[in-house]
Structure 1
Amino acid sequence: MFTDVLFDIDGVMLSEERYFDASALTVNELLTSSRFLGLQSVAGAYRADLSNDDIAAVRQAVFQRDTVLEKLKNVGVNANWDMVYLVFVSELAHVLGSCEAVPQFKRAVVDALRDGWSVAAIQSLGSAIRQDAQQQVVSYDHYDHLYGGATTRDELFDRARTVFATAFGLELDDHALWIIGQEAFQEWYLGDDYTRASTGKKGFLTSEIPLVQPAQFQSLLSDLLDRKIHLGIATGRPFTETKVPLEFFGWWKFFDEAKVSTASDVLFAEQQVPEARPLSKPHPFSYLRSLTANHDPAALLSTSLPLEGKRAQVLIVGDSIADALAAQRLGASFAAVLTGLEGVAARPKFEQLNADFILEDALQVSALFT
C-alpha cells in the first residue's frame, strides 16, 4: 500500500496551456524586443498588450503548431525555462549562421559577448546582427537544425552550449543566458502586479485552467489524508505560481509545505551546488526533496538512488516523460495521466516506458486506494 503520493501540477491539476503561451511570448520577446536582440520575426514585433488571438498566433509560430513542444517533451524537457532557452538558442544559431562570415562581423560578436551574457550584451549582439546585410527574418523553423536526432535533454543542452564555441571560439556561461530567459518568462507569467514592474504585461495567474473538477479533486486529497497518506508536490512552477492558483482552487491546504518542491527550490539548489546543474526534471531531485522533506541540496544529491523498497510505498502522479524518468531513477511507482500536451495520444509512450498505471485523469488515483 502506498504511503506517499507526489503530484506534478501542470498537465495533472492545471492546464499547461498558459505556461506554453508565456514560453512562446518570452522567446519572441528575446528575439524581437529592442530590450534584447531587436530582430524581425514571422510572429510579429514585440508587444506587451496582446489579445488571446494574438497570443495564439505567436505560439503557433514559435512552437510550429506545438510540434516543437512535443519534441522537447519527448526527450524529457519539462521546465518552461529550459524550453525558452533551448528554442531561443536554436533560432539565434540560425540567424548567426545566415550572417556574413566576415572578420568584421565575427569581431563584433566577440566584442558584444566579451564579458559574457547580460541584457546589454544581447543588445550589442542584436546591433551587430542587424548591421549585417544577410540577416533574415526569424522564421522559427530551425529547431531540428540544431537539435535533430537528439534523444535526451542533456544532449540538447550540450548542443546549445557548442554554438558560440564552434562559430566564434567563445566559452560562455550558458546559465547566465538561461537566467535572462527565466526572468523574462516570469514577467510574462506573473505580470506587473506580482513582479512590481511596469512592462504592461498582465500575467496569467488569474486565468489558470483546472484539468479536474476542483471540488472532486479536493475530495480525493481529503480522502487520501484520511487514509494517512502523505501528500507532496514536485513541480516545474516557481513557488508563487504554485501557491496562488492552488489556494484559489482550494487544494493548497491539503499539502504539507515541507513536502512541496518548486522550480524556486531547484534554482536555489543549483546555486548552492552549481556543478550538479541541471536539477529540473527528469532529474529526481524535486521528487526526492518532497518525499523526504529534506531541504539540504548537498545531502539530497549524495543520496544513493534508486531508493530501496519504495516502489510499493511511493506513487508519483505525472503527465510527462520527464516525470516517468524521474520516478524510475527515484525507485518509485509512476501513474501517468493522459491530460498533458498530447492527451490520450501519449498512452503508447507511457506503455513503452512501463508506467505502472495509466489513468484518464488525476481523479482516477482514487481507484488505486479502493
Structure 2
Amino acid sequence: MFTDVLFDIDGVMLSEERYFDASALTVNELLTSSRFLGLQSVAGAYRADLSNDDIAVVRQLVFQRDTVLEKLKNVGVNANWDMVYLVFVSELAQALRSAAANSEFKRAVVNALSDGWTVGAVQSLGSAIREYASEQVVSYEHYDILYGDATTRDELFDRARTLFATSFGLELDDHALWSIGQTTFQEWYLGDDYTRASTGKKGFLKSEIPLIEPAQFQSLLSDLRDRGIRLGIATGRPFTETKVPLEFFGWWKFFDEAKVSTASDVLIAEQQVPEARPLSKPHPFSYLRSLTANHDPAGLLSTSLPLEGKRAQVLIVGDSIADALAAERLGASFAAVLTGLEGAAARPKFERLQANFILDDALQVNALFA
C-alpha cells in the first residue's frame, strides 16, 4: 500500500495552456522587443497588451501549432524556462547563420559579447544582426535545423553549445542566457502586480484553468490524508505560481509545505551545488526532496538511487515523460494521467514506458486505494 503520493501540477491539477502561452510570448519578446534583439517577426511587432486571440496567434507561430512543444515534451523537457531558452536559441542561431560570413559582423558579435551574455550584450547582438543579416524576419521554423533527432534534454543543450562553438566561434553561456529568459517569463506569467514592474503585462495567475473539478479534488486529497497518506508536490512552477492558485482552489491546505518542491527550490539547489546542474525534471531531485522533506541539496544529491523498497510505497502522479523518467530513477511507482498536452493520445507513449498506472485524470488515483 502506498504511504506517499507526490503530485506534479501542470497537466495534472492545472492546465498547461497559460504556461505555454507565457512561454511563446517570452520567446517572441526576446527576439522582437527593443529590450532584447529587436528583430522583425512573422508574429508582428512586439506588444505587451495582447488579447487572447493575439496570444493564440503568437503561440501558433512560435511553437508551430504546438508541434515544437510536443517534441520538447517527448524528449523529457518539462520546464517552461528550458522551452523558452531552447526555442529562442534555435532562432538566434538562424539569425547568426544568415550573417556569419560577413567579417564586420563577426567583429561586431565579438564586441557585443565581450562582457558575456548580458541583456546589454543581447541588445548589441540584435543591432549587429539587423545591420548585417540577410534573413531579417524571424519565421519560427528552425527548431529542427538545430535539434533534429535529439533524444534527451541534455542533448538539446549540447547541440546548441556545439553549434555556437563550431559555426560561430562563440562560447554559449547557456546559464546566463537561460536566466534572461527565465526573468522575462516571470514577468509574463506573474504580471506587473506581482513583479512590481512597469512592463504592461497583466499576468496569468488570475486566469488559471483547473483540469479537475476543484471540490472533487479537495475531496480526494482529504480522503487520502485521512487514510494517513503523506501528500507532496514536485513541480516545475516557481513557488508563487504554485501557492497562489492552489490556495485559490482550496488545495494548498492538504499539503505539508516541507513536502512541496518547486522550480524556486531547484534554482537554489543549483546555485548551492552548481556542478550538479541541471536538477530540473527528469532529474529526480525535486521528487526526492518532497518525499524526504530534506532541504539540504548536498545531502540529497549524495543519496543512492534508486531507493530500495519504495516502489510499493511511493506513487508519483504526472503527465509527462520527464515525470516518468524521474519516478523510474527514484525507484517509485508512476501513475500517468492523460490530461497533459497530448491528452488521450499520450497513452501509447506511457504504455511504451511501462507506466505502472495510466489514468484518465488525477481523480482516478482514488481507485488505487479502494
TM-score by length of 2: 0.99
Instruction: Say whether residues 1:237 and 2:220 are aligned partners.
Output: no
> Partners in 2 of 1:202 and 1:17 — Cα distance?
16
> Partners in 1 of 2:163 and 2:196 — Cα distance?
35
Counterpart in 2 of 1:337? 337
Counterpart in 2 of 1:353? 353
**Range that drifts further, 189-198 or 92-101:** 92-101
Matches within 5 A, 1:60-71: 60-71=60-71
> Partners in 2 of 1:171 and 1:147 — Cα distance?
18
Counterpart in 1 of 2:47? 47
1:195-253 alpha-carbon deviations (Å, 9 max, x no partner): 00000000000000000000000000000000000000000000000000000000000
1:277-320 alpha-carbon deviations (Å, 9 max, x no partner): 11100000000000000000011111110000000000000000
> Partners in 1 of 2:127 and 2:350 — Cα distance?
46
Matches within 5 A, 1:79-228: 79-228=79-228
Counterpart in 1 of 2:7? 7
> Partners in 2 of 1:122 and 1:272 — Cα distance?
27
> Partners in 1 of 2:16 and 2:157 — Cα distance?
23
> Partners in 2 of 1:133 and 1:328 — Cα distance?
46
1:163 Cα deviation after fit: 3.0
Q: SS of the counterpart of 1:211?
A: coil
1:146 Cα deviation after fit: 0.3
Give unpaired runs (5+ residues) of structure 1. none
Contact 2:233–2:287 at 8 Å: present in 1 too?
Answer: yes
Aligned partner letter, 2:149: G
> Partners in 2 of 1:268 and 1:163 — Cα distance?
29
Contact 1:74–1:321 at 8 Å: present in 2 too?
Answer: yes
> Partners in 2 of 1:76 and 1:266 — Cα distance?
17
Counterpart in 2 of 1:248? 248
> Partners in 1 of 2:307 and 2:213 — Cα distance?
34
Contact 1:232–1:291 at 8 Å: present in 2 too?
Answer: yes
Contact 1:316–1:335 at 8 Å: present in 2 too?
Answer: yes
Aligned partner letter, 2:124: S
Detail structure 1 runs of 4+ shifted over 3 Å in the superposition.
none
**Range that drifts further, 216-225 or 41-50:** 41-50
Give unpaired runs (5+ residues) of structure 2. none
Aligned partner letter, 2:86: L
How many pairs align? 370
1:63 Cα deviation after fit: 0.1
Contact 1:110–1:168 at 8 Å: present in 2 too?
Answer: no
1:133 Cα deviation after fit: 5.0
1:173 Cα deviation after fit: 2.1
Name the CA shift for 1:133/1:30 in 2 (closer, same or farther; >3 Å).
Answer: closer
TM-score by length of 1: 0.99
Contact 2:100–2:168 at 8 Å: present in 1 too?
Answer: no
> Partners in 2 of 1:79 and 1:286 — Cα distance?
12
Q: SS of the counterpart of 1:131?
A: helix
**Range that drifts further, 101-110 or 49-58:** 101-110
CA RMSD of aligned residues (A): 0.7
